[in-house]
């Protein structure tokens, strides 16, 4: 293809990435508005409008675009719908000192990077997108500008730098093996397998799979809570979507080895995350290990191709649960202090509604009825059992057993927040919570219950082109 033909093609394809373009222009304007000293409230409103715009103007098409570097399919459409909405949820968090227009600009940058991660069909584009999300994330981590925040950001940067170097090495090996940077040209070769392994470790870092999870607790503890809610959802879900794409293109090539490796890692992640969470007293740290365990649950869903709807359901529920949990945590925080369990002792008498909401998110994260979290786990285990039944693979059975047992163990730590809320003596700590957050929390909690009673409503969210 000649250069000018390519240029014409690129020009024609701009409409396909309309939501990304809206976000890019929007975030640049946001930066300018910030320099013009617009009050933060209006900056937030503007950001919300941009996010809604990108949600509404997302294009549902399928195929390859931009000289086959961008792919559009059901999954990437789902992400262009879901991720801006999650970011919108993050905008609703309580006002704290670290929030400034730069903060929201960086938030948008991570979102843009995440959307390009999901849309990329070329290893280099993917690498660039991951770097975009990573750099913005490093900065967001340190936004408290205190010692803890800087330490967290530094750790994140170091681990991130190493993993991205390893990933780049993997990409170069893959290029060497196949002479191509496109996903769909993968073939089986020893060099390719090695390259894939290194390449995946970069993605595992993003999705916090053990043993690439070490940055998670420190970062979650040190970063502002709204940034944590964002990290645990948007870039992570995008990372899983990329894994979904990658496994789609390597489908069967490296089996059964790859499948066994993934399941082993998933089991390890679940066990590690659950066990480590058991002994935490800092709520954010506890939730961070819980989020690691959840990564282990989502990982196998990327592997098996026939489970798009289960994957979709799980990530949406996961996003809801995490936003609700972290919003809840942030509302109880004092400026610049982390929330420890003893800080919520005995608040249940004063705020029974908040106590009930904490029960709902805790129960949802454990995966018990009557919350959407239970449906997500039910679908997940159904998928796993089906694979076990059809392949008689012990790895799947172990995954089911470990998953079920870890649910029981995770009850112990997730339930500690409502436990301290209701069962402990009041320590006379004063916490003020604005009434409108009650409305937001109640709505989110209600949605979680609604998603249990009628999970079909999610079929209408980002429907598939040809189901």
Partner 1 sequence: MSSYILSLIIWMPLLGAFTLLFFNERQTSGIKIVALIFSLIQLLFSIGLVWRFDPNYGDHLLTSFQFVEKFSWISMSLGSFGSFNIDYHLGVDGMSLWLVVLSSLITVLGVLASWKLKQQVRSYFMLYLLLSTSIVGCFLALDFFLFYLFFELVLLPMFFLIGLWGGPRRSYASIKFFIYTLVGSLLILVVMIALYLSVGVLDPTSEMMIHSFNLLHMMDSNYFIEGSSLAKDSVLTFMGMPLRAVAFLALFLGFAIKLPIVPFHTWLPDAHVEAATPISVILAALLLKLGGYGLYRIAFSIFPDAALHFGYYIAIFGVLAIIYGGLNAMAQNDLKRMIAYSSISHMGFVLIGLGSFTVEGAAGGMFQMIAHGFISAALFLIVGVLYDRTQNRKIENFSGLATKLPGYSFVVMIVFFASLGLPGLAGFVGELLVLMGAFNVSAVDGMLPNWIGIVAVMGLLITAAYYLWTIQRMFLGKYWVREHSWEPKMKDLEIREWLIFTPLILGIVVLGMYPKIILDTMNHSIELFIAHVGDLKIKL
User: From the CB of 308, what's the least distance to partner 1, in Å?
Assistant: 6
| Residue from the set 147, 179, 337, 392 that interacts with partner 1 by CB under 8 A | 392
Selected binder of partner 1 within 28, 278, 353, 408 (CB under 8 A):
408
Q: What is the 3-state secondary structure (H, E, C) of the chain?
A: CCHHHHHHHHHHHHHHHHHHHHHHHHHHHHHHHHHCCCCHHHHHHHHHHHHHHHHHCCCCCCEEECCCCEEECHHHHHHHHHHHHHHHHHHCCCCCCCCCHHHHHHHHHHHHHHHHHHHECEHHHHHHHHHHHHHHHHHHHCCCCCHHHHHHHHHHHHHHHHHHHHHHHHHHHHHHHHCCCEHHHCCCCHHHHHHHHHHHHHHHHHCCCCCCCCHHHHHHHHCCHHHHHHHCCHHHHHHHHHHHHHHHHCCCCCCCHHHHHHHHHHHHHHHHHHHHHHCCCEHHHHHHHHHHHHHHHHHHHHHCHHHHHHHHHHHHHHHHHHHHHHHHHHHHCCCCCCCEHHHHCCCCCCCHHHHHHHHHHHHHHHCCCCCHHHHHHHHHHHHHHHHHHHHCCHHHHHHHHHHHHHHHHHHHHHCHHHHHHHHCCCCCCCCCCCHHHHHHHHHHHHHHHHHHHCHHHHHHCCCCCCC
Exactly one of 8, 124, 404, 439 binds partner 1 (CB under 8 A); which one? 404
With CB under 8 A as the contact rule, which of the stretches 94-102, 275-283, 418-426, 432-440 interacts with partner 1? 418-426
Q: How many chain residues are in contact with partner 1, going by CB under 8 A? A: 42
Q: In terms of CB distance, is 40 or 411 closer to partner 1?
A: 411
Name the residue among 356, 350, 347, 320 with its Cα closest to residue 452: 320
Q: Which segment (173-181, 183-191, 374-382, 442-450) binds partner 1 by CB under 8 A?
A: 374-382
Task: Return the residue of 419, 441, 445, 462 that touches partner 1, per CB under 8 A.
Answer: 419
Closest distance between partner 1 and the C-beta of residue 300, in Å? 15
As measured in angstroms, the least distance from the Cβ of 297 to partner 1 is 14
Please identify, among the stretches 28-36, 167-175, 306-314, 324-332, the one whose residues bind partner 1 according to the rule CB under 8 A.
Answer: 306-314
- Closest distance to partner 1 from the beta carbon of 281 (Å): 16
In this structure, the dihedral spanned by the alpha carbons of residues 137, 138, 144 and 145, taken in order and rounded to 10 degrees, is -150
Q: How far apart are CB 411 and partner 1 at their closest, in Å?
A: 6
Question: 66: closest CA among 25, 119, 127?
Answer: 119
Residue from 176, 211, 256, 389 touching partner 1 (CB under 8 A): that is 389
Q: Smallest distance, Å, CB 341 to partner 1?
A: 13
Give the span between the Cα atoms of 274 and 83, in whole angstroms: 26
Of residues 322 through 361, those in contact with partner 1 by CB under 8 A are 349, 352, 359
Segment interacting with partner 1 (CB under 8 A) among 62-70, 91-99, 130-138, 378-386: 378-386
Min dist. Cβ of residue 370 to partner 1 (A): 7
Least gap, CB of 463 to partner 1 (angstroms): 11
Q: Does 309 bind partner 1 (CB under 8 A)?
A: yes
Question: If binding is defined by CB under 8 A, does position 450 make contact with partner 1?
Answer: no
Residue 298 C-beta: closest distance to partner 1, Å: 16
**Shortest distance, position 378 Cβ to partner 1, whole Å:** 7
Give Cα separations from 186 to 181, 248, 254 (angstroms). 9, 11, 11
Residues 204-233 binding partner 1 (CB under 8 A) are none
Tell which one of 307, 330, 343, 358 touches partner 1 (CB under 8 A). 307
- Applying CB under 8 A, which of residues 204, 381, 396, 414 lies at the interface with partner 1? 381
Pick one of 138, 244, 388, 414: the residue that binds partner 1 (CB under 8 A).
388
**431 contacts partner 1 (rule: CB under 8 A):** no
The residues that touch partner 1, with contacts defined as CB under 8 A, are 306-310, 349, 352, 359, 363, 368-370, 374, 378-379, 381-383, 385-386, 388-389, 392, 397, 400-401, 404-405, 407-408, 411-412, 415, 419, 422-423, 453-456, 459, 467
């Amino acid at each position: 293809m000649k250069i000018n033909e390519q240029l014409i093609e690129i020009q024609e394809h701009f409409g396909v990435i309309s939501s990304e373009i809206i976000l890019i222009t929007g975030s640049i304007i946001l930066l300018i508005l910030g320099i013009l000293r617009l009050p933060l409230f209006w900056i937030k409103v503007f950001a919300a409008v941009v996010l809604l715009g990108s949600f509404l103007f997302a294009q549902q098409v399928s195929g390859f675009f931009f000289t086959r570097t961008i792919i559009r399919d059901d999954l990437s459409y789902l992400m262009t719908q879901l991720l801006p909405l999650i970011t919108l949820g993050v905008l609703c968090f309580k006002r704290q000192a670290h929030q400034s227009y730069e903060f929201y600009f960086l938030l948008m940058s991570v979102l843009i990077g995440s959307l390009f991660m999901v849309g990329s069909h070329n290893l280099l584009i993917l690498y660039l997108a991951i770097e975009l999300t990573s750099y913005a994330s490093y900065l967001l981590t340190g936004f408290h500008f205190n010692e803890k925040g800087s330490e967290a950001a530094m750790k994140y940067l170091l681990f991130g730098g190493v993993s991205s170097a390893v990933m780049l090495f993997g990409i170069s090996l893959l290029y060497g093996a196949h002479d191509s940077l496109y996903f769909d040209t993968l073939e089986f070769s020893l060099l390719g397998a090695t390259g894939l392994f290194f390449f995946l470790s970069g993605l595992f870092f993003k999705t916090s799979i053990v043993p690439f999870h070490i940055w998670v607790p420190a970062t979650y503890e040190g970063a502002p809570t709204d940034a944590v809610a964002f990290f645990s959802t948007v870039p992570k879900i995008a990372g899983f979507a990329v894994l979904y794409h990658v496994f789609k293109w390597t489908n069967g090539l490296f089996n059964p080895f790859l499948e066994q490796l993934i399941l082993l890692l998933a089991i390890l992640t679940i066990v590690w995350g659950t066990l480590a969470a058991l002994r935490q007293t800092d709520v954010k740290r506890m939730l961070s290990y819980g989020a690691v365990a959840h990564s282990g649950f989502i990982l196998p869903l990327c592997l098996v191709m026939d489970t798009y709807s289960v994957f979709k359901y799980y990530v949406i529920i996961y996003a809801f649960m995490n936003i609700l949990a972290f919003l809840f945590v942030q509302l109880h925080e004092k400026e610049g202090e982390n929330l420890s369990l003893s800080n919520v002792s005995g608040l249940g008498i004063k705020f029974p509604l908040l106590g009930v909401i904490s029960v709902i998110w805790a129960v949802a994260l454990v995966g018990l009825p009557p919350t959407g979290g239970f449906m997500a786990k039910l679908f997940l285990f159904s998928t796993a059992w089906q694979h076990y039944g059809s392949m008689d693979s012990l790895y799947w059975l172990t995954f089911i057993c470990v998953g079920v047992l870890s649910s029981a163990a995770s009850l112990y730590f997730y339930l500690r927040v409502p436990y301290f809320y209701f069962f402990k003596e009041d320590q006379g700590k004063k916490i003020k919570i604005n009434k409108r957050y009650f409305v937001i929390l109640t709505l989110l909690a209600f949605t979680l219950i609604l998603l249990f009673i009628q999970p079909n409503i999610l079929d209408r969210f980002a429907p598939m082109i040809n189901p």
